[in-house]
Structure 1
């Protein structure tokens, strides 16, 4: 099972008054990783329909430990835990991997994404090409539990 890896830069403005990355900023980090995965990587694999529209139906985030600003990026690992007819669930782990192979995990999260037809103003089905792309990143182990 493949995982999409995105190196996300930390910005000085991401910090809150307590000196660590604000909880709301993590949603932006997840969005950056998801856009790279579903728009950039999918388009390169011939499944570019996601760039035509999608909406977030649900986020679930579990904050594990504070992340403080530093000059090096944080790694966001992304995979798919569910593919339905007209929705999918993406799971994430925001982490650092150390030289000895251990990880420091800051956040685990899941997002339910619904492909959307912008011209018609309604959700759409996942195409066979999109399903094939997503299946390469399928793993049944969610990072955070998302209730259906």
Structure 2
């Protein structure tokens, strides 16, 4: 089941047209990814190991605008694990009618500040990520 993160649209999220600015959606998606890691109980381990989950690609598709006062829900799940990357799938929907506002696929890697390149998704890293993998 996807992690569900509520977001209320505030005035500072809006552009000149009264719609949520496209860059704010990236912040909504990031907030939900942090929430997914926290609720899965994995964030502390990654931080203790000094492993960072870094975004390498974001493919976002905007479907309809959100405006002031809208209550949104960001649905987030781990949809793919590769050798050295993963993909988090996300949907932003209106809470009142479940209409799709935006959807995104976020590709990430795991890095360590003292090691070159992305870490392979094996061993302890795989043990933490594999239980989060969901099929949709």
TM-score (norm 1): 0.78
Name structure 2 gaps, 5 residues minimum. Answer: none
Matches within 5 A, 1:1-148: 2-38=1-37, 40-42=38-40, 44=41, 48-49=45-46, 52-70=51-69, 73-98=71-96, 102-126=97-121, 127-135=125-133, 138-139=134-135, 141=136
- Equivalents in 1 of 2:36, 2:11: separation in Å? 25
Cα distance in 1 for partners of 2:57, 2:108 equals 7
Superposed CA deviations along residues 68-89 of structure 1, whole A, max 9, x for unmatched, are: 010x631000112211122100
Alignment coverage as a number of residue pairs = 131
RMSD, aligned α-carbons: 2.1
TM-score (norm 2): 0.84
- Stretches of 4+ aligned residues off by more than 6 angstroms: none
**5+ unaligned residues in a row in structure 1: which ranges?**
142-148
Bigger shift: residues 121-130 or 57-66: 121-130
Per-residue deviation at 1:109? 0.7
Superposed displacement of residue 55, structure 1: 1.1
